[in-house]
Chain A
Amino acid sequence: MNARFNETHVSHEPDLLAKLSNSHLDALEEETIFILREVAAAFERPALLFSGGKDSLVMLKCAEKAFGVGRIPYPLLMIDTGHNFPEVTAFRDLRAKELGAELIIRHVEDSMKRGTVRLAHPDEPRNAHQSVTLLEAIDEFRFDALIGGARRDEEKARAKERIFSHRDSFGQWQPKAQRPELWTLFNTRLQPGEHFRVFPISNWTELDVWQYIEREQIALPSLYYAHPRKIVERKGLLVPVTELTPARAGEEVVEKLVRFRTLGDITCTCPVDSPAATAAEIVIETLAADVSERGSTRMDDKTSDASMEKRKKDGYF
């Protein structure tokens, strides 16, 4: 995360954003485009993981600049837990169509039908099981590189991962045996069955992403902006009340003005209290935030210190 400020209320003066101009964004954009082109050139069957979330939309914007509209040289791949916000899936489909990109969707529910995913109980979050469906899709299409929108500032295990991250034939990340990544000489050689995960926006922070969204006027699903929503407060999180996540006995359902900082599976993504209705206002809020994106919004990262590392070793992004 970037520096924050002690002022609890940052004034919303109109020219503040101009003052906060982030000249570093040009360097980040250039690096991302360089990596996106490297993937296009170095691999035979790459795909870009596309969820309709803000990070993947930033990547898609860079891909559009790298290759031109209608020319993104790889398909978009979505692993659908079946627990997505409908606004996001609709937006995802619209965006893929606008770009003339091929969109491949694979469903965790199909893996459940095949018996490759078994839930411990029916309402268990399916986020972690995405790895199985993802590896099945990699197998099916023989993908050799999957581009993902993970950022190193999100989480400690991500902070350790290379931009070109080698995965073995089980899709596993081996943190102790990462390939040295010297200069910009990316060793993309693979053994049969292995693949790479590639993270072109590794060096972006949450603030950079919002500043870029604001600068480039990137359209996002409406849930990223303030909207009224029924929630219950649980363990310091604002849990959205939905068919999949009903209020528990004794919990009080209230309506609040909220927005999502991150959008994943409904069952493990929480919004934050916020009146921010534009990207510009979110930039200002992000500057003043004192809780991380995941800390404030994700129910599934809190299990243990190493939960992300463990999932990455299992083939997760």
Chain B
Amino acid sequence: MTTIDLIAASAQPASATGQNDLKSALKFITCGSVDDGKSTLIGRLLVDSKAVLQDHLAGVQRGGETDLALLTDGLSAEREQGITIDVAYRYFATEHRKFIIGDAPGHEQYTRNMVTAASSADAAVVLVDATKLDWKNPAMELLQQTRRHSLLVNLLRVPSIVFAVNKLDAVEDSALAFNNISAALTAFAEAAKIAVKAIVPISALKGWNVVDAAETGWCGYTGPSLLDLLEHLPATPAETGEAFAFPVQWVEKFSSSSDTSQGRRVFWGRVATGGVQPGQTVTVLPSGQTAVVAQVLDHIRQPRAIPAGHSAGIVLDREVDVSRGDWLLAPDTFTPSREAAVTMAWMDDEPLVAGRVYWALQGHRWVKAKVRRIVHKLDVNTLAEEDASELPPNAIGHVELSFQEPLVTLPYLRSRILGSLVLVDTASHKTSGAALVL
């Protein structure tokens, strides 16, 4: 079979919902500690899957050697310091799948950029540097950033988490190292209740088991190569199981009612949970009015029912007060509340202190939010709860918020959209915190 035949065989139309459709692109991030080889791994994936063009490859030759990390570290400050500051997005495709890689920084001070990349990822590859661990000792300590990043991606509900044990070319006994490190990772994941898809031995520098499978039994491992594994991971499932919730993004007004079968306004947005079709009753938040869905359009204005995760244009059977930021909801299902307990990933350079008022953005709705109480700060290495009066930059903690107007929320574990909000500083307008509803 030629490459083109392979592409052809795999390029079937997407399933109706896109759920678990392996042909859909996989968005994954790489994370782990500084110098664990994240940028090198991405460079290796790109080069070995032949996704790097000659002029880009020529740009990363230094003294006759190819520095794969330079393929992704695109900012001059990153090249100067040899570190990754912000997420670089890279694209490549194999015969089986398209990939979008978010190369997230490892430094603690850039946690906000790592959280940014993780919030929309289908999978996370957490790199573990074998050479930095006391691998001869079965009871070794993992690095802080390994634990931290694993806990973060798990907290953000990245659906698939994979550990890639790297630099196994640089240890004397790679089989023993992989065995002991795997055991430590498994024990940590179990204790932290993190579901791990796989633990894969690799050498990003040498290209072992990254794209092409290593020799059978290398490090005692007989599973697929890292890329093989990524090709078969599921995309993030849409939240179709919950009741219908729809944040109104944009209200389109028509001067003539001939544009739609009913009414003069179309409410556009992306279905957060459940689905929408003509005939169902909806309640508008915050007005509380009720109406029946007369017409549903997809993102290109074709009439059809729309499931969670996709954009819809909704026309109601009567004129009700709906504007951007409002929600259309399945009736009698959601209880708006002025309060929420959240896990907060704090991103501002100024610490979070109780009593301050921020803007909160949820869906397309902006409301004022007050920090009522910092319940505790999480030790990001262990997730142990510590007393705290403030959350310093890059800290994570439990916080109680009160809102100026009621919001409908669900726990983040049930809905990423209803369960997530960002806090924006009212003075600097910076995005200061990411909140996940408990």
A34 B347 Cβ-Cβ under 8 A: no
Q: A20-44 vs B: 1/0 string, CB under 8 Å?
A: 1111101101100110011011000
B299 A2 Cβ-Cβ under 8 A: no
Q: Does A189 contact B (CB under 8 A)?
A: yes
Q: Does A94 contact B (CB under 8 A)?
A: no
Which chain A residues numbered 36 to 68 have a C-beta less than 8 Å away from chain B? 37-38, 40-41, 65-68
Residues of chain B contacted by A33 (CB below 8 angstroms): 299-300, 311
Q: Does A179 contact B (CB under 8 A)?
A: yes
- Sample (11) of A-B pairs whose CB atoms are under 8 Å apart: A2-B98, A23-B11, A23-B12, A24-B24, A156-B74, A160-B75, A182-B422, A183-B417, A185-B420, A187-B422, A305-B79
B91 A205 Cβ-Cβ under 8 A: yes
Q: How far is the CB of A107 from chain B (nearest CB, A)?
A: 31
A41 to B420, CA, bound (A): 21
A37 to B71, CA, bound (A): 33
Tell me which of A24, A159, A189 contacts B98 (CB under 8 A).
A24
A185-B421 in contact given A27-B25, A290-B53, A295-B56 (Cβ < 8 Å): yes
Residues of chain B contacted by A305 (CB below 8 angstroms): 59, 76, 79
Q: Does A218 contact B (CB under 8 A)?
A: no
A23 to B301, CA, bound (A): 19
**Which candidate, A3-11, A78-86, A95-103, A239-247, is the interface stretch facing chain B?**
A3-11
A273 to B409, CA, bound (A): 57
A contact residues, range: 35 or more
Q: B272-305 vs A: 1/0 string, CB under 8 Å?
A: 0000000000000000000000000001110000
A41 B364 Cβ-Cβ under 8 A: yes
A159 B88 Cβ-Cβ under 8 A: yes
Q: Does A249 contact B (CB under 8 A)?
A: no
Residues of chain A contacted by B18 (CB below 8 angstroms): 27
Tell me which of A159, A178, A296 contacts B55 (CB under 8 A).
A296
B429 A191 Cβ-Cβ under 8 A: yes
A291 to B310, CA, bound (A): 35
Q: A106-146 vs B: 1/0 string, CB under 8 Å?
A: 00000000000000000000000000000000000000000
Q: How far is the CB of A63 from chain B (nearest CB, A)?
A: 12
A187 B11 Cβ-Cβ under 8 A: no
Q: A166-210 vs B: 1/0 string, CB under 8 Å?
A: 000000000110111111110101110000000000110100000
A205 to B46, CA, bound (A): 14
Output the nearest chain A residue to B111 by Cβ-Cβ distance.
A180
Output the nearest chain B residue to A155 by Cβ-Cβ distance.
B74
Q: How far is the CB of B84 from chain A (nearest CB, A)?
A: 10
Q: How far is the CB of B428 from chain A (nearest CB, A)?
A: 8
B contact residues, range: 35 or more
B74 A159 Cβ-Cβ under 8 A: yes
A313 to B301, CA, bound (A): 38
Q: Does A253 contact B (CB under 8 A)?
A: no
A188 to B16, CA, bound (A): 32
A189 B120 Cβ-Cβ under 8 A: no
Q: Can you add 10 more A-B contacts, CB < 8 Å, to A37-B311, A41-B324, A180-B115?
A: A1-B92, A27-B14, A27-B25, A34-B311, A40-B250, A65-B299, A175-B85, A180-B116, A189-B359, A289-B53
A153 to B90, CA, bound (A): 7
Residues of chain B contacted by A290 (CB below 8 angstroms): 53-54
Residues of chain B contacted by A259 (CB below 8 angstroms): none
Q: Does A306 contact B (CB under 8 A)?
A: yes
Residues of chain A contacted by B87 (CB below 8 angstroms): 160
Output the nearest chain A residue to B98 by Cβ-Cβ distance.
A24
Residues of chain A contacted by B59 (CB below 8 angstroms): 305
Tell me which of A3, A22, A175 contacts B77 (CB under 8 A).
A175
Residues of chain B contacted by A296 (CB below 8 angstroms): 55
Output the nearest chain A residue to B53 by Cβ-Cβ distance.
A292
A27-B24 in contact given A2-B92, A203-B100, A309-B75 (Cβ < 8 Å): yes
Q: How far is the CB of A214 from chain B (nearest CB, A)?
A: 14
A306 to B87, CA, bound (A): 17
A183 B119 Cβ-Cβ under 8 A: yes
A33 to B269, CA, bound (A): 10
Q: B358-370 vs A: 1/0 string, CB under 8 Å?
A: 0101101000000
Q: Does A157 contact B (CB under 8 A)?
A: yes
Residues of chain A contacted by B4 (CB below 8 angstroms): 5, 7, 10-11, 16, 19-20
A156-B72 in contact given A22-B11, A37-B249, A305-B59 (Cβ < 8 Å): yes
Tell me which of A20, A160, A183, A205 contacts B11 (CB under 8 A).
A20
A205 to B24, CA, bound (A): 15
B86 A19 Cβ-Cβ under 8 A: no
Residues of chain B contacted by A189 (CB below 8 angstroms): 359, 424, 429
Q: How far is the CB of B112 from chain A (nearest CB, A)?
A: 5
Residues of chain A contacted by B72 (CB below 8 angstroms): 156, 159
Q: Does B430 contact A (CB under 8 A)?
A: yes
B270 A184 Cβ-Cβ under 8 A: yes
Q: Does A152 contact B (CB under 8 A)?
A: yes
A3 B94 Cβ-Cβ under 8 A: yes
Tell me which of A22, A29, A30, A157 contacts B74 (CB under 8 A).
A157
Residues of chain A contacted by B112 (CB below 8 angstroms): 180
Q: How far is the CB of B385 from chain A (nearest CB, A)?
A: 24
Residues of chain A contacted by B77 (CB below 8 angstroms): 175-176
Q: Does B8 contact A (CB under 8 A)?
A: yes
Tell me which of A1, A179, A183 contacts B416 (CB under 8 A).
A183
Q: B97-129 vs A: 1/0 string, CB under 8 Å?
A: 010100000000000110110011000000000
A185 B422 Cβ-Cβ under 8 A: yes
Tell me which of A30, A160, A180 contacts B88 (CB under 8 A).
A160
A187-B424 in contact given A160-B88, A175-B75 (Cβ < 8 Å): yes
B116 A182 Cβ-Cβ under 8 A: yes
Q: How far is the CB of A194 from chain B (nearest CB, A)?
A: 8
Which chain A residues numbered 270 to 317 have a C-beta less than 8 Å away from chain B? 289-292, 295-296, 305-306, 309-310
Which chain B residues numbered 297 to 344 have a C-beta less than 8 Å away from chain A? 299-301, 310-311, 324
A309 B74 Cβ-Cβ under 8 A: yes
Q: How far is the CB of A316 from chain B (nearest CB, A)?
A: 15
Residues of chain B contacted by A23 (CB below 8 angstroms): 11-14, 21, 23-24
Q: How far is the CB of B210 from chain A (nearest CB, A)?
A: 15
Q: Does B139 contact A (CB under 8 A)?
A: no
Tell me which of B13, B24, B50, B249 contacts A34 (CB under 8 A).
B249
Q: Does B402 contact A (CB under 8 A)?
A: no
Output the nearest chain A residue to B86 by Cβ-Cβ distance.
A160
A65 B56 Cβ-Cβ under 8 A: no
Residues of chain A contacted by B362 (CB below 8 angstroms): 185
A144 to B120, CA, bound (A): 26
B429 A3 Cβ-Cβ under 8 A: no
Q: How far is the CB of B410 from chain A (nearest CB, A)?
A: 14
A38 B55 Cβ-Cβ under 8 A: no
Q: B150-180 vs A: 1/0 string, CB under 8 Å?
A: 0000000000000000000000000000000
